[in-house]
A = this chain, B = another copy of it.
């Protein structure tokens, strides 16, 4: 910048003014400065800039996802990027892998780089460590799961309502023995979904049979094994509800292997690519990760723009998409 100023024959401050498009610069000097910038191919140093600036903004936000490579997370990520980029804000992304320790260390890395805001899909169950960060002015929004021991903006899927709708869909078609495959119980969304299952059964006066429930499953393989077990008992379920993406795929694999995919109904929570091309198409309770991301990032920027109102808790509805597998009769 010093060199630019020298070449243009102006002061440092004038160059700064030109770069930040401040009004009080004559057009003649401005063009001379621009020419010098061109000539020297000078690049503005935002780190130094935000260090000196009064608001201290870095024009970067941190996004903590479960895993940047999974479709749910990456859809969220993309929506966030879209809005952020429009405002010239860059996005740091990181994967927690459902590990509380990793969550903390990644967020520490984000904050040590002075991100303006954080969008967090939490893996830990205590976010009080973020209190001081919030006090320091960092905006933060929690997505998909609630913040614990911290009052903050949240954007959640209607997990319980969605699951109830899915279970009701099966009950309407006459199923009375509905198996349930659930993710790690420590994950809040998994717990809520299971609550949806329990409460919808209760609401319709059906007793929950613990023998039809398998929880704490992770990934396709364990779900396939669990589903196969459920189906091999004396009084097997006539329908299965899978509480997550990969569990649905695992259940479908098991059904195919046992050649039951046209006999036993299957409804999954969370849509996935190609669910419509399987045989039969898989009925799902679809989340809307794009809407989650959009809502979260808009909330974040509203805070960054100065909104100081009490915490907002947004809930994004689900949508049941019948494709065949959920319409099989008992």
A177 in the interface (beta carbon within 8 A): no
Q: How far is the CA of A68 from the CA of B67 in the complex (A)?
A: 12
A43 in the interface (beta carbon within 8 A): yes
Q: How far is the CA of A67 from the CA of B77 in the complex (A)?
A: 10
Across the interface, name the chain B residue whose C-beta is closest to A47. Answer: B47
A93–B81 CB distance below 8 A: yes
A91–B90 CB distance below 8 A: no
Min Cβ gap A117→B in Å is 15
| Candidate in A78, A88, A106, A132 with the most chain B CB atoms within 10 angstroms | A78
What residues of B have a CB within 8 angstroms of the CB of A235 in the complex? none
A69 in the interface (beta carbon within 8 A): yes
What residues of B have a CB within 8 angstroms of the CB of A90 in the complex? 92, 94, 109-110, 113
* Binding-face segment, A159-167, A186-194, A274-282, A313-321: A274-282
Binding site for B on A (CB under 8 A): 41, 43-48, 50-51, 58, 60, 67-71, 73-75, 77-78, 81, 85, 88, 90-95, 106, 108-114, 132-133, 136, 249, 252-253, 256, 272-274, 277-279
Interface pairs (25), CB distance under 8 Å: A43-B112, A43-B136, A45-B112, A46-B114, A47-B58, A47-B113, A48-B51, A51-B51, A58-B113, A68-B68, A68-B74, A69-B71, A74-B77, A77-B93, A85-B106, A90-B92, A90-B94, A91-B92, A93-B93, A252-B277, A256-B277, A273-B274, A274-B274, A274-B278, A277-B278
